[in-house]
């Protein structure tokens, strides 16, 4: 059994009085690929945002790569350096070039010298197949290109875990596959990944485990074959019918 990357125990989260995440227990092994799906408002984005403290949980414990996620700022910084995140709306820094977007965090948070940071950035930009855009600003790129830059930016911190928060939901249909291709190739290289996505084809192809959430709870989880072939829970069946029927 490989080592544990993320361990979430009895975690609860509230937005004011609204109970968003209810008693979440989740263990993610290193190099494991997990896809989280569920209807909107089910708490799936909130769950992965708790892992790098973009959202604070109120109860239970989260341990990431052996570091306990608590109010200790140095723990939070430690975890954020090791956990990369890709957002639905890319969130590239519009006032910086593509290359600067990629080198900023390694130079500031890891104190990497500029030369090394730029060499690494070019390597990752090649990996997502847009090295020729390095000198451009994000606003000059298409959505699919921007999302690939966002993935390269996350990779530049050499994270051990990557979180994807609906990375293809804001893209035009013809650009989805260029982003998914990059994600598939990352999965093949053994990156630990948690993806919130509705791309069920992607889930079938790369996921070790698919998790279905509804109303703030993990309703069902299993290997893709079991999950799609024989969902046990009624809510899972309904959801799969809805998104697979069109």
What residue ranges bind other proteins (CB under 8 A)? Answer: 52-54, 77, 80-81, 83-85, 87, 89-95, 97, 104-105, 108-109, 136-137, 139-140, 153-154, 157
Closer to other proteins by CB, 143 or 231: give it: 143
Cα gap 166→89, rounded to integer Å: 9
Tell me how far, at minimum, the Cβ of 166 lies from other proteins, in Å.
Answer: 13
Cα gap 58→136, rounded to integer Å: 42
**Residue whose token pair is 């390269």:** 152
Identify the burial level of 99 via C-beta atoms within 10 angstroms of its C-beta, where 0-12 means exposed, 13-18 middle and 19 or more buried: buried
Tell me how far, at minimum, the Cβ of 89 lies from other proteins, in Å.
Answer: 6
Tell me how far, at minimum, the Cβ of 187 lies from other proteins, in Å.
Answer: 20
Q: Helix, strand, or coil here: 134? A: coil
Tell me how far, at minimum, the Cβ of 168 lies from other proteins, in Å.
Answer: 16
Closer to other proteins by CB, 129 or 136: give it: 136
Pairing mode of beta strands 4-15, 59-64? antiparallel
Cβ atoms of residues 130 and 145 within 8 Å: yes
Closer to other proteins by CB, 22 or 75: give it: 75
Cα gap 109→103, rounded to integer Å: 10
Closer to other proteins by CB, 162 or 182: give it: 162
Measure CA 175 to chain center: 18
Closer to other proteins by CB, 93 or 223: give it: 93
Tell me how far, at minimum, the Cβ of 201 lies from other proteins, in Å.
Answer: 27
């Amino acid at each position: 059994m490989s080592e544990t990357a993320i361990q979430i125990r009895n975690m609860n989260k509230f937005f004011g009085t609204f109970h968003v995440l209810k008693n979440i227990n989740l263990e993610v092994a290193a190099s494991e690929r997990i896809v989280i799906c569920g209807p909107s408002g089910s708490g799936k984005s909130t769950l992965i945002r708790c892992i790098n403290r973009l959202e604070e949980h109120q109860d239970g414990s989260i341990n990431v790569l052996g570091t306990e996620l608590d109010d200790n700022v140095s723990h939070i910084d430690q975890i954020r350096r090791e956990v990369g995140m890709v957002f639905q709306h890319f969130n590239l820094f519009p006032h910086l070039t593509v290359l600067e977007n990629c080198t900023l965090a390694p130079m500031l948070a890891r104190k990497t010298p500029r030369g090394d940071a730029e060499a690494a950035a070019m390597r990752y930009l090649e990996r997502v197949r847009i090295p020729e855009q390095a000198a451009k600003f994000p606003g000059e790129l298409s959505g699919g290109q921007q999302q690939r830059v966002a993935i390269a930016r996350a990779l530049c911190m050499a994270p051990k875990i990557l979180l994807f928060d609906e990375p293809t939901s804001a893209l035009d249909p013809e650009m989805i596959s260029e982003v998914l291709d990059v994600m598939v190739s990352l999965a093949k290289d053994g990156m630990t990944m948690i993806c919130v996505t509705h791309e069920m084809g992607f889930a079938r192809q790369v996921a070790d485990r698919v998790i279905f959430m509804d109303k703030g709870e993990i309703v069902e989880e299993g290997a893709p074959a079991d999950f799609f072939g024989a969902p046990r829970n009624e809510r899972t069946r309904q959801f799969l019918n809805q998104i697979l029927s069109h």
